[in-house]
Amino acid sequence: LRGLVAAAREAQWEWSRRSMRERVRALRRLRRRVADCADEIAALVRSETGKVMGEALIEAAGAADQLAYLAARAPKALRPRRAASGWVSHRRARVSYEPYGVIGMITPWNYPFAISMGTVAAAIAAGNGGVLKPSEYTPLTGLRVGELVAEATGLTDLVSVATGDGGTGAALIQAGVDKVAFVGSVATGKTVMAAAAESLTPVVLELGGKDAMIVCGDADIDRAARGAVWAAFYGCGEVCMSVERVYVVDSVYDQFVQAVVAEARRVRTSDEPEAMVGSMIAPFQVEKVERHIRDAESRGGRVRLGGRAISGHGHFFQPTVVTDVNHDMELMREETFGPVLPVMRVADEEEAVRLANDSEFGLDASVWSRDHVKARRIAAQLDAGTVLINDHLINYLMPDLPFGGVRHSGFGRVHGAEGLREFTRPKSWVEDRMTLRREPYWFEEGGSGESTAQALLAMRHARGPLRRLKGALRLMGGFLR
């Protein structure tokens, strides 16, 4: 791995010296290649994850959108900006955004192409090289990302791919990378952060979620039910922004549960072409989902639909709706990451907000109401990285929106200008605007600089314009001495 990092560093030196216009052309070539190879990419993703074809194609489409966004917006987002020089007005100040160098990128299996390509694209748009460590469940998809980047940039070593298990990821952190970008579970994220701390390597962590959905008494119940079923079961629930908790106001609870169960019955799970939901990734995920459901049942939860794994080829699980849930259950406290929709009755919106915030996680949350003023008021009280009104999940496909969470959902951002700048170091510059024989803030002959400090304080903060003017004149006299 140290060899891969060294090779990436050498390629990055050349890449960082290319103009932004050249980088943009490479990003556009990469976008074109992703779009042209979308069917092939989707087939590869499907073979490694068990996704349905439509979801696998969305990975390619989302990656292409991210590349198009970066090509269009990176020049402005990374352009040096002027900074105010305060009272030192004879100095010119600015900020530039410099690449870190080599980024260690550790990405998950649930969206192996979209997340890997999006992370790599932002890193190289900012002038970095990198080493990508994809999940051991999706190594071929990771390797394809590396091939496409090499084709578009003409630099074979700019982004290397290191396949392997968690040990490979741990070794990558210790291999001399300049920053680590990690997407994955909370437990592994804590391990990554601890390992990076040994060398004071900065990290950005995009971790798990336990997304809450609040259904108000005035919500469009049929629409909310359809939205909940889609946001809970899309991708077999193996999405960090899946709806994993629904709080429904008492007055519409029974109507909502009836509508959700009816809608969920329509969801087809198999490896057939007409299926809406594909396979889970592996037995360990199936076992976790089963454990959460059994724990909920033992504490009074009621399985209204599904609740069992589907025997046969693959790791399929029935779309499941559980009611009569509470916060004593694992199903409402831990990230489930499976096709389960728990629905809880609440007295009012205030209780819903309190329970939604009663979580270690804070990735996305949504509010469903016909009254947008009320919905915005409720959303403003939610501790989450993203809040949505009358929808869920879709924010990840909006590349200009920064994405990330609070609490155990991680820190730092991906996407948007904020996500792009995660891969840069801001460098502050101070230059001459005019040169004086001596500066008034340098050491004074036989003094401590008290007179200059008093003049500055008066100019900036004295009460009344006349006193501030006198302070300015005294300070100007110091400049002219």
Packing angle of the helix pair 38-49, 139-153 (nearest 10 deg): 160
Give the integer Cα–Cα distance in Å for 168 and 106.
10
Strand segments, DSSP code E, in 324-479 are: 340-346, 364-368, 386-389, 410-411, 424-432
Neighbours of 312 (CB within 10 A): 9
Q: Which of 30, 63, 68 is nearest to 44 (CA)?
A: 63
By three-state DSSP, how is residue 214 classified?
Answer: strand
Give the integer Cα–Cα distance in Å for 103 and 392.
31
**Is 178 in contact with 101 (CB distance < 8 Å)?**
yes
Task: Let me know if 216 is a catalytic residue.
Answer: no
Which one of the listed residues 48, 55, 59, 206 is annotated catalytic?
A: 206
Neighbours of 37 (CB within 10 A): 16
φ, ψ (nearest 5 deg) of residue 334:
-100, 155
Q: Which of 326, 329, 372 is nearest to 351 (CA)?
A: 326
Strand segments, DSSP code E, in 100-188 are: 102-106, 129-133, 159-161, 179-183
Q: Radius of gyration of the chain from Cα atoms?
A: 27
Give the integer Cα–Cα distance in Å for 147 and 138.
15
Residue type present at position 329: M
**Is 409 in contact with 108 (CB distance < 8 Å)?**
no
Name 322's bridge partners: 303, 342
Give the integer Cα–Cα distance in Å for 365 and 345.
17
Task: Let me know if 37 is a catalytic residue.
Answer: no
Which one of the listed residues 48, 55, 238, 240 is annotated catalytic?
A: 240
**Is 123 in contact with 130 (CB distance < 8 Å)?**
yes
Give the integer Cα–Cα distance in Å for 5 and 252.
57
User: Where would I find the H helices in 319-401?
Assistant: 330-333, 349-356, 372-380
How many angstroms separate the most distant Cα atoms in the chain?
90
Catalytic residues: 206, 240
